[in-house]
Structure 1
C-alpha cells in the first residue's frame, strides 16, 4: 500500500522530523522502482544511503479533502489503495497525478525512512544507514477519525514482515499524531 490510504474519512500520515529543502525528483543513481516482495512496486537503494539523507520529495497534485473524497477510490477493485498524502485538515497530495517514484515507497512497522513535512512539502528521509539493494519504507501511520475496529485493521493490512509488525498500516495511536513542521528561517 502507498502513502495515505485515505478516504472515505480523513486519515493522517505521520510526519516525524525536520528536513532540508531538496530537489523533488529522485536521484536515479541512488534509488530505483521495481517489483517488491512487500506489495506491488517498491523503491530500492542502488547505493548505500547515509542516515539523515533526504532521498526524494513526495510530489503530486495538491487537492482539497473534498476533491480527494470525490476521486476516491482510485481503483474500485482496491478501494483502500490510493496515492494520497495528508498535508493538513484541508489538503492532500494526490501522487496519481504528477507523482514520482516516492509514491511507490511501501509501509513498514520497522521503517528505514520517515516522511517529513516542510512548509507543506513532504520529503522522504533515511532514518538509518540503508544498504544497496534494500527496499525503502516508512511508517504510514494512518489515523482514523474514531476508534479502530478489528474490521478496519483488516481493511488496511500490513505485509512488511517486521518482527514487531502490527498487522495493519493504521497507527498504533487512536489520536492524530503530532507533526513536526519546519518553517523557513
Structure 2
C-alpha cells in the first residue's frame, strides 16, 4: 500500500498489476482502518478488488486493524524512518508501519 490521500492519511491500495485503488475517491469505510503490527484483518486482492478479511476472531466493538506494510520510494534515512514509526504495542511490533525497515 502506498502512502497518499488526505493530508496525514493513507487511502491507496496497490494491486499486483501496478494499478492503485484510491479509497479517497468514492471508497468505503475500510479506508479508515488503522495500522497495527499484530493486525486482526488483512487486505486481500481478488480480481482487481481489495477485500478486508478477518485473520482472527473479532469481538463486537473491537477496532479493526491491518498491517499497512507501506512501501516508499525515497531512501530509508533516520528522518524518513521516524515519519513511519509504530507504537501499536503488539508483542510482534516492528516499530514501523513500513514493510521493510532494514
Normalised to the residue count of structure 2, the TM-score between the two structures is 0.82
**2:86·2:93 contact (CA, 8 Å) conserved in 1?**
yes
Larger RCO, structures 1/2 (Cα 8 Å, 6+ apart): 1
Alignment of 1:17-36 (within 5 A): none
Report the secondary structure of 1:103's partner residue. helix
Cα distance, 1:86 vs. partner? 1.0
Report the secondary structure of 1:98's partner residue. coil
Task: Check if 1:82 corresponds to 2:14.
Answer: no
Normalised to the residue count of structure 1, the TM-score between the two structures is 0.48
Task: Check if 1:127 corresponds to 2:55.
Answer: yes
Q: Give per-residue Cα distances to partners, 1:93-132, cap 9 Å, x unaligned.
A: 1111101110011111001111100111001001111112
Task: Check if 1:168 corresponds to 2:100.
Answer: no
Return 5+ residue gaps in structure 2 as ranges.
none
**2:23·2:31 contact (CA, 8 Å) conserved in 1?**
yes
Cα distance, 1:146 vs. partner? 6.7
Query: Alpha carbon RMSD of aligned pairs, Å?
Result: 2.2
Partner of 1:141: 69
Aligned residues: 102
**2:36·2:88 contact (CA, 8 Å) conserved in 1?**
yes
